[in-house]
Structure 1
Amino acid sequence: MNLKLNLLLEVKSQGYSVVIGDDSLTHLNEFLNNKSYSKYFIIVDENTIDHCLTTILTNVDCLAEAEVIQTESGEENKTIEIVTQVWFTMSEAHADRKALVINLGGGVISDMGGFIASTYKRGVDFINIATTLLSQVDASVGGKLGIDLGGLKNQIGVFNFPQMVVIYPPFLKTLEFRQLRSGFAEVIKHALIQDADYWEEVKNITVSGDYNWSKIIEHSVKIKNKVVLEDPLEKGLRKILNYGHTIGHAIETWHLENDSDFFLHGEAIAIGMIAEGFLSKEKCGLSDSELNQIVTALKSVYDLKPLQKENFESYCSLMIHDKKNTDGNISCSLLSKIGNCKWDIFADKNDLLNALAYYNKIVD
């Protein structure tokens, strides 16, 4: 089934479309042919330059002369050093304020590339072409851009919105299974925080490259779009999108810095959703039955193993630096029931240690 979805996302004075489907590149070509950008820059990594760039250049004729800037994939490369290198490359190519940056990749590329564009010469236009499930359902939509600082995730950044987000589902066939499964964690999150009916479908999905992802992408984009439209700058409701991320980000960050066998984003968030599911039961009244549903679904998708208890203190130290915190209090977004999430629920160190211990017990 070919699905084309045009969503006009009106955020304050800025609007952009999210185009999903096998003909989304045709839509992009038409869009750019009606513009008059001075130069085009395509930011890629070693995966998208091999598996996606040719498809873009074949289908979008005005990009034939684009400057291609290659970075390295992975969260460990979402740094100011890489950003500075790209800024210099653009400057040396005489990029002016009428240039366009196209971010061809997953969450790291869209986060960092959008930040690069938004800060170069005080801002040039950019477009996200999302190539991973993670970026198609979450990272490329919503206007949160940024880089890591000293190993801490997303400490430096801005809110800004692309001219367009292009989601071409066939790119998912280029992904390794582990990457595809990582992105599915955000689909699970969207169902848990906003849509109990959607959860009934999502919890039974078998992740594979052959799955028809278009409807799932559409539904997740609609969920995130609805939340972002109500709270574009994350002052309230948008914080529900952080479910699983307080603990998950700490685990992801620590292992990225200290462990050669680190977690992908979605793998860490899956752990976070189980641990924060326990906190939801303790602090927001999530039922045992629904917590068990969440645990069962996540265990069926991810190869979950116990964490080393000696790392728990380090995880908690990282949570203190989480950007969601207020006045030094560790702030979580937790479920009162499947489909309903509350934000700014404070947890102390003992709460977090108990949540991590619960995770270990449930997967051992």
Structure 2
Amino acid sequence: MTTIQAATYPIHFEEKGYNELSNLIANNNYSSLFVLVDTNTLEHCYPRFIQLLGTEKPIEVIQIEAGEIHKNIETCVGVWNVMTELGADRKSLLITLGGGVITDLGGFVASTFKRGIDFVNIPTTLLSMVDASVGGKTGVDLGVLKNQVGVFANPELIVIDPEYLHTVTPREIRSGSAEIIKYGMTHDIRLFNEIKDNPNVNIVDLIHRSIEIKNEVVLEDPKEKGVRKVLNWGHTIGHAVESYFLESEHKEALTHGEAIAIGMICEAYISHKELGFSKEKVNDIKKNLQQIFGIASITENDYAPILEYLIHDKKNVGGIINFVLLNDYEDFKLNCTTSQGIIIESLKFYCQ
């Protein structure tokens, strides 16, 4: 797979990525190297990483607990303290080796430690390969409110190594495929068709195109003032549902992709009501996404708390809930609004 050039950094694939990372380390005379991992990636991914990384420099490994629940400022404080104790300075390099929690949190830790040190992302899940690691967004959650604290900061480079996908569960692969479906609906319907028409599709074949789409959007709008908002398709309701299920004692937590699939179904319904998006396509989206991701239990008792989480969405301005909606596949409209009544209708539609 060919290298993709982002605004200030390259996105390399497979073994070329490790060669370029080794060159980066050799050419920049870093004072110290740190690798941020979680309990899963230390066991399953670090051995491959250290085998392919060509450097004689000593590496300090910093481990955090796995899971979205640990993507918070308290974990950052722990990592900052460990780096300080190990003598990190402004010429240190932090390499993140993990999924979206690691790349989001690690990028934030690096971009704020001593007002910013270099970092490199090596995503190990499908979700982080096609979305979280690319685009310069870093940050952590505030309680269960997702990505409320963070900064835009670009890595020095990104290494995409699909071999790491052998270390994650089929559920996590499905979760990442939701972001690929998002790119399909908004930019290249072939991606959605490939997934829905072929249950045995080789997902690796769709990674490069997905990253291309995200990179093209980010190049046009680095800080989400305009067209980058399209990357939030499915995420307005999806994030609210994800946060609610994470917080509720009576719900089993959803993966990010499972929640975004719910969001895409609901927001497709809202697109039909507000923009005339084809009802046939809305029904097709619902049928296919529920086949892929299953059906979460959402009842009338859940509507009010989900609406409450929607109010806290970081994309809102002046208390107004903003949506990305579809006129048609590959034809979207930004900064849309709707009524609470239609939002509730969309949740009912999901459950029918």
Q: CA deviation at 1:63?
A: 6.7
255-264 or 124-133, larger mean C-alpha shift: 255-264
Partner of 1:142: 135
- Between the aligned partners of 2:345 and 2:333, the Cα distance in structure 1 is 20
1:114/1:126 contact within 8 Å kept: yes
The gaps in structure 1 that reach 5 residues or longer are none
Q: Specify which of 122, 135, 144 is matched with residue 129 of structure 1.
A: 122
Partner of 2:4: 7
Equivalent residue letter for 2:314: K
Equivalent residue letter for 1:104: L
- Look up the SS of the partner of 2:322 in the other structure: strand
Partner of 1:245: 235
- Look up the SS of the partner of 2:34 in the other structure: strand
- Between the aligned partners of 1:257 and 1:62, the Cα distance in structure 2 is 43
Superposed CA offset, 1:120-167 (max 9, x none):
000001000010000001110001111111221111111110011111
Q: Specify which of 300, 307, 317 is matched with residue 326 of structure 1.
A: 317
Equivalent residue letter for 1:41: F
2:181/2:191 contact within 8 Å kept: no
Structure 2 CA distance for partners of 1:289 and 1:158, relative to 1, 3 Å? same
Identity of aligned residues (%): 43
85-94 or 298-307, larger mean C-alpha shift: 298-307
197-206 or 258-267, larger mean C-alpha shift: 197-206
Partner of 1:216: 206
Equivalent residue letter for 1:354: E
2:180/2:192 contact within 8 Å kept: no
Q: CA deviation at 1:30?
A: 3.0
Partner of 1:48: 41
Q: CA deviation at 1:197?
A: 3.5
- Look up the SS of the partner of 1:234 in the other structure: coil
- Look up the SS of the partner of 1:129 in the other structure: strand
Superposed CA offset, 1:45-77 (max 9, x none):
011000000111111132762111111111111
The gaps in structure 2 that reach 5 residues or longer are none
- Look up the SS of the partner of 1:40 in the other structure: strand
- Between the aligned partners of 1:54 and 1:198, the Cα distance in structure 2 is 32
Structure 2 CA distance for partners of 1:261 and 1:147, relative to 1, 3 Å? same
Partner of 1:189: 182
Count of matched residue positions in the alignment of Structure 1 and Structure 2: 351
Q: CA deviation at 1:199?
A: 3.1
- Between the aligned partners of 2:205 and 2:40, the Cα distance in structure 1 is 25
Partner of 2:341: 350
- Between the aligned partners of 2:228 and 2:176, the Cα distance in structure 1 is 19
Structure 2 CA distance for partners of 1:63 and 1:81, relative to 1, 3 Å? farther
Partner of 2:169: 176
Q: CA deviation at 1:32?
A: 2.3
Partner of 1:264: 255
1:245/1:273 contact within 8 Å kept: yes
Partner of 1:26: 19
- Look up the SS of the partner of 2:319 in the other structure: coil
Considering only aligned residues, what root-mean-square deviation do their CA atoms show, in Å? 1.5
Q: CA deviation at 1:341?
A: 1.6
- Look up the SS of the partner of 1:61 in the other structure: coil
Partner of 1:17: 10
1:100 aligns with 2:119: no
Q: Specify which of 277, 300, 314 is matched with residue 309 of structure 1.
A: 300
- Between the aligned partners of 2:267 and 2:169, the Cα distance in structure 1 is 28
- Look up the SS of the partner of 1:203 in the other structure: helix
57-66 or 271-280, larger mean C-alpha shift: 57-66
- Look up the SS of the partner of 1:62 in the other structure: coil
Q: CA deviation at 1:303?
A: 1.4
Superposed CA offset, 1:4-49 (max 9, x none):
3211112xxxx10111235432332233222211111111001100
Q: Specify which of 224, 230, 254 is matched with residue 220 of structure 2.
A: 230
Q: CA deviation at 1:307?
A: 0.8
Equivalent residue letter for 2:263: G
1:106/1:131 contact within 8 Å kept: yes
- Between the aligned partners of 2:219 and 2:193, the Cα distance in structure 1 is 25
306-315 or 19-28, larger mean C-alpha shift: 19-28
Structure 2 CA distance for partners of 1:183 and 1:339, relative to 1, 3 Å? same
2:286/2:350 contact within 8 Å kept: no
- Look up the SS of the partner of 1:68 in the other structure: strand
- Between the aligned partners of 1:23 and 1:194, the Cα distance in structure 2 is 28
Q: CA deviation at 1:255?
A: 1.1
- Between the aligned partners of 1:222 and 1:214, the Cα distance in structure 2 is 14
